[in-house]
Each structure stands twice: as C-alpha cells, then as structure tokens.
Amino acid sequence: MTGLAAQLAAGVEALGLAAVVSAEMQEKCLAYIALLQKWNKVYNLTAVRDPQEMLSLHILDSLSVLPHIQSGRLLDVGSGGGLPGLIIAITRPDVQVTTIDTVQKKTIFMRQVKAELGLSNVEVVHGRVEAYQPPSPFDQVISRAFSDIALFRRLTMHLIIDHGRWLAMKGVVPADELQLASVIPTEIIRLQVPSLQAERHLIVFENS
C-alpha cells in the first residue's frame, strides 16, 4: 500500500466510515487525486499542489459530510473540480449527483473524471446555477466555499423540493451569515477532518 493509500485508509477509519467506503471506492478517490494532479499542471483547477494536502483538504474534507447525506438527488453548487460532489458520487452510489460550475475547464475535468472512473450516478452541468432549469428539483443542495448562506439559498431556491435540505460546508460557524440570511439551521454539525487542524462545520437548513 502506498503512503497516500495508507493515509486515506487511516482517514476513512478515523472518520468512522470503514464500513461504508470500500477499498474499491478508496482506489477511485486516489485515481481522482491522480487526475486532479495531472490536469492541474495545465488547467490550474486548485491552488493545492501537494497530493497529501489534496487528500486531507479535498478528499477527507468531502468524506466528512457522508454520514449527513441522504439518498436521492443531490446538487453540488460551484463544484469546481468536483468537490464534494464527485467524492460523494464515488462513495454513495445511492445518491444521484449533479455538479454545476460556471467555469468550462472545470466542467470538462469533471466529465473526464466521470468517464474514467465510470460514475454512472453523476451529471455535470456547465452554467450559472440561478439560470439552471433541471427537469425536476433536488432533495439536497450542497456547497463548499461557494458563497455566503443568503446568496446560496437565494440562487438555489428554485432547485430544491419542499422540505428539501441545504448543506453548507463552512469553516467556523458563520453566525453573521445566518443572521443576515434570517436562517435558523436545523443542525450545525462540527466536522472532525483527520489531519486538518482548521475548524469545519456543516450548516443544515430546510426548505420549509
């Protein structure tokens, strides 16, 4: 087992996901890192260059939300290189994941990942989220460093079912954002990301 594979396996164990994230899924996560590294040289998809940093900042950070994802249809807004959407798709085949981004090179990369890793539960959309008109709304809408909560909610209101859930991945608890958005979260979940010292939280609120 390579150093990176061992680090991923240890991270999955630390997150309590060993029964969920199989060895095959972990291999696909490592294949994703390899593709990200390769494409990053030409397309500058992420400022993170070191594969070990990619593992903790991107993969384990994305995996940390898995216990809070329900089955059904999920939209990942401002997905960039496919985080957390593609990692959720790899590890949760029961979730139909749509990723959307305005930057064409990022959507081309995500489509390449979908093809190379055989992710049949992924759809990649190039466009602005506020203009996106899918055939039916989503059960869950997630974002990671997309915008403040008020804007995230406003731009995606037309994309979520009644009583659907928004999931905003944040660092420290964004009390000011919640106040400005007049949002009362149903849950504020502290995420413990292995080998990441920074605070991470998942803010969950419902379309009631």
Residues marked as binding for S-adenosyl-L-methionine? 78, 83, 129-130, 144
CA dist., res. 138 & res. 101, Å (int): 16
Question: How far apart are the two ends of the chain, measured CA to CA in Å?
Answer: 47
Could you give the 3-state DSSP secondary structure of residue 74?
A: strand
- Tell me the CA distances in angstroms from 6 to 1, 3, 55, one per residue in order: 6, 5, 11
Closest CA to 167 of 201, 129, 199, 122: 201
How many CB atoms are closer than 10 A to CB 156?
25
Close Cβ partners of 14 (under 8 Å, ≥ 6 residues apart): 192, 194
Q: What CA dihedral angle connects 117, 123, 127 and 129, to 10 degrees?
A: -120
- Residue 103 burial (C-beta neighbours within 10 Å; 0-12, 13-18, 19+): middle
Going by the DSSP 8-state scheme, the letter that residue 163 receives in this structure is E
Per the annotation, where are the binding residues?
78, 83, 129-130, 144
Find the radius of gyration of the CA atoms of the chain. Answer: 16
